[in-house]
Amino acid sequence: MDNCIFCKIAKREIPANKIYEDEDILAFHDIHPAAPVHFLLIPKLHVDSLADIDGSHHDLLGKMLVLTPKLAKEQGCSEGFRTIINTGRVGGQEVFHLHFH
Ligand code: 5GP
Ligand code: ZN
């Protein structure tokens, strides 16, 4: 997606404060943190939102979810954390590239 800010971050066309990367997934700090620890986990593959997920994304989503507590603990969330996936305009989504907060 040409005009997608998170695709540009995934392609390193714009900078981000990265905390994790592999061939499928990238995690970086939110530019406007709403909590002491606030990072975003994205697939490198462009998917607009959770509403656009299908069976072909099964392994990718599983991998993202398994990574979530590992990264949260590494970032200092030893006592717990909240994971948010805003979906669609009505769901408060502003960046239309799937991401976990
Ligand atoms: P949404 O409302 O779509 O779930 O959340 C989008 C999040 O992306 C917001 O928390 C916002 O601060 C963050 N964000 C938007 N643009 C950028 C950016 O260029 N870099 C980073 N690191 N975060 C961004
Ligand atoms: Zn994208």
Question: pLDDT digit string (tens) for 2-21?
Answer: 899 999 999 999 999 999 99
* Helix, strand, or coil (residue 7): helix
Instruction: State the distance from the centre of ligand 1 to the C-alpha of 30, rounded, in angstroms.
Output: 6
Catalytic residue (one of 46, 58, 99, 101): 99
pLDDT score for 2 = 82
Q: What is the mean pLDDT of residues 93-97?
A: 98
Catalytic annotation present for 99: yes
Q: Rounded CA gap, 53 and 51, in Å? A: 6
Is 82 touching ligand 1 by the criterion CB < 6 Å? Answer: no
Evaluate whether 24 touches 43 at the Cβ level (below 8 Å): yes
Q: Which residues surround ligand 2, an ion (CB under 5 A)?
A: 1, 4, 6-7, 46, 97
Instruction: Find, among 45, 28, 46, the residue nearest to 37 by Cα.
Output: 28
pTM: 0.97
* Residues 6 or more apart in contact with residue 97 via CB below 8 angstroms: 1, 4, 5, 6, 7, 42, 46, 47, 48
pLDDT score for 33 = 98
Angular region, 16: left φ>0, alpha ψ -120 to 50, beta rest: beta
- Please name which ligand lies nearest the alpha carbon of 89: 1
Instruction: Give the atom of ligand 1 at the shortest distance from the alpha carbon of 95.
Output: 3
